[in-house]
């Protein structure tokens, strides 16, 4: 079985697992006051070249929903891509933890919001008009749900609209490291230098068991976050287990190496699959995901051989307008991880070629 359905089908990396075993011995202060968590926070401040407030949580949904709650009142409007994780894959958690803010999904090709669309959408909700939700925040995903990337200029343009309209700017970085190594920029470039206020810094998919950081660049915005995290049930009592995961993840560039490996495997797969007759890759593969339209016969050959991928939304509004998935085709997402081996990718390509 070669499982490329997601990057969370694998366990934690060896380095993270060993750090957890080491952190298991002895007594430590509880609820995140341990030295592993302090170390993770210090490392993140250095990596982001900025003062940060860091809150570790166990899931990306928790990170996103609580981050958005820190940016929006219950009567707020939160702009996001129509097919974003916050809108489609979190079972209403952002709406619940904001006490009812409205997520406003906007269309955009390749899974991306544009500054222009955002500007137009904001105009529909005039400030001070009581019958309208009030523009409060914008949230983008980097890597996007289509496996694509915002350029630094595109993030900065959205940041500029957010600044002009006094919106908080949230970045869902479930695959932050994969985006970073592809763009070859610094974490600062991709976030606060482009106007981002809060990052959901993912670590689970790229090497941890269950650990994500909510990172604030303005401590004032984080003032009540400790209460939010606790009342949502996301304050882990043996907090050292989160701190140990995050500090091991960041140590010795482990996170960057994992992401580089995963991205390299996706590139290999994209090159191999993309060159086959009858196969189309409607979105550019820019990180560790490959979206492919395959003939049903090819898909069956892969399935029968034990290859797993995730069937994707065939009617996705992010697809190019001329892309129509035929009745004899499937639309699949392949995701590579730090554990994906080159020969697994080569096997998938060989099977598809044989079909």
Ligand X SMILES: *Cc1c(COP(=O)(O)O)cnc(C)c1O
Of the candidate residues 61, 139, 286, 344, the single one contacting ligand X (CB under 6 A): 61
Candidate ranges 44-52, 54-62, 234-242, 303-311; the one touching ligand X (CB under 6 A): 54-62
Q: Which is nearer to ligand X, 172 or 197 (CB)?
A: 172
Q: Which is nearer to ligand X, 114 or 142 (CB)?
A: 142
Q: Which is nearer to ligand X, 59 or 347 (CB)?
A: 59
Establish if 76 lies at the interface with ligand X (CB under 6 A): no
Separation between Cα atoms, residue 252 and residue 143, nearest integer Å: 23
Of the candidate residues 28, 41, 172, 289, the single one contacting ligand X (CB under 6 A): 172
Q: Which is nearer to ligand X, 28 or 83 (CB)?
A: 83
Separation between Cα atoms, residue 171 and residue 217, nearest integer Å: 12
Cα of 252 vs its chain's centroid, Å: 22
Establish if 59 lies at the interface with ligand X (CB under 6 A): yes
Would strands 198-202 and 168-173 be described as parallel, antiparallel, or unpaired? parallel
Closest residue to ligand X, judged by C-beta, is 60
Q: Which is nearer to ligand X, 66 or 273 (CB)?
A: 66
- For 299, phi then psi, to 5°, come to -60, -40
Establish if 206 lies at the interface with ligand X (CB under 6 A): no
Establish if 174 lies at the interface with ligand X (CB under 6 A): yes
**C-alpha torsion sign, points 109, 113, 119, 122:** positive
Q: Which is nearer to ligand X, 19 or 68 (CB)?
A: 68
Please name the helix (run of DSSP H) or strand (run of DSSP E) that holds residue 16, with its range, or none: helix 14-23
Query: Is 284 within 8 Å of 319 (Cβ atoms)?
Result: no
Establish if 232 lies at the interface with ligand X (CB under 6 A): no
Tokens representing 264 are 């390299």
Q: Is 196 in a helix, a strand, or coil?
A: coil
Among 69, 43, 64, 62, residue whose Cα is nearest residue 54: 43
Q: Which is nearer to ligand X, 204 or 286 (CB)?
A: 204
Kindly state the number of chain residues that form the binding site for ligand X, as judged by CB under 6 A.
Answer: 11
Smallest distance from ligand X to CB 60, Å:
2
Q: Which is nearer to ligand X, 104 or 279 (CB)?
A: 104
Establish if 258 lies at the interface with ligand X (CB under 6 A): no
Separation between Cα atoms, residue 66 and residue 26, nearest integer Å: 31
Of the candidate residues 13, 28, 60, 196, the single one contacting ligand X (CB under 6 A): 60
Smallest distance from ligand X to CB 8, Å:
7
Structure-token match 């593969």, residue found: 285
Residue 151 sits at the vertex; the CA angle it makes with 148 and 156, to the nearest 5 degrees, is 130
Window 117-146: contact mask with ligand X (x via CB under 6 A): ------------------------x---x-
Tokens representing 308 are 């797993």
Query: Is 288 within 8 Å of 143 (Cβ atoms)?
Result: yes
Establish if 85 lies at the interface with ligand X (CB under 6 A): yes
Tokens representing 201 are 């810094």
Site residues, ligand X (CB under 6 A): 59-61, 64, 85, 141, 145, 172, 174, 204-205
């Amino acid at each position: 079985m070669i499982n490329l359905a997601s990057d969370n089908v694998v366990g934690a990396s060896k380095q993270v697992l060993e750090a957890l075993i080491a952190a298991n011995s002895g007594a430590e202060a509880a609820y995140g006051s341990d030295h592993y968590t302090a170390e993770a926070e210090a490392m993140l401040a250095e990596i982001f070249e900025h003062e940060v407030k860091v809150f570790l949580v166990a899931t990306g949904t928790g990170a996103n929903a609580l981050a958005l709650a820190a940016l929006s009142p219950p009567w707020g409007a939160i702009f996001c891509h129509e097919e974003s994780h916050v809108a489609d894959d979190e079972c209403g958690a952002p709406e619940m933890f904001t006490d009812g803010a409205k997520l406003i999904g906007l269309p955009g090709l390749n899974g991306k919001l544009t500054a222009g669309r955002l500007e137009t959408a904001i105009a529909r909700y005039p400030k001070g008009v009581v019958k309208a939700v009030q523009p409060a925040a914008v949230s983008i995903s980097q890597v996007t749900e289509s496996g694509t990337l915002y350029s630094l200029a595109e993030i900065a343009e959205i940041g500029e609209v957010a600044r002009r309209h006094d919106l908080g700017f949230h970045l869902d970085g479930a695959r932050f490291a994969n985006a970073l190594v592809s763009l070859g920029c610094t974490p600062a470039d991709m976030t606060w230098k482009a106007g981002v206020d809060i990052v959901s810094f993912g670590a689970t998919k790229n090497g941890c068991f269950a650990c994500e950081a909510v990172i604030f660049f303005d401590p004032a915005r984080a003032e009540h976050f400790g209460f939010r995290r606790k009342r949502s049930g996301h304050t882990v009592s043996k907090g050292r287990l989160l701190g140990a995961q995050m500090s091991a993840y960041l140590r010795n560039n482990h996170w960057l190496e994992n992401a580089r490996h995963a991205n390299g495997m996706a590139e290999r797969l994209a090159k191999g699959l993309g060159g086959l007759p009858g196969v189309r890759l409607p979105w550019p593969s820019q990180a560790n995901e490959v979206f492919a339209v395959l003939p049903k016969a090819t898909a069956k050959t892969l399935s029968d051989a034990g290859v797993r991928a995730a069937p994707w939304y065939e009617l996705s509004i992010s697809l190019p307008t001329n892309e129509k998935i035929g009745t004899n085709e499937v639309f699949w997402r392949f995701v590579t991880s730090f554990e994906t081996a080159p020969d697994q990718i080569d096997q998938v390509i060989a099977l598809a070629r044989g079909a």
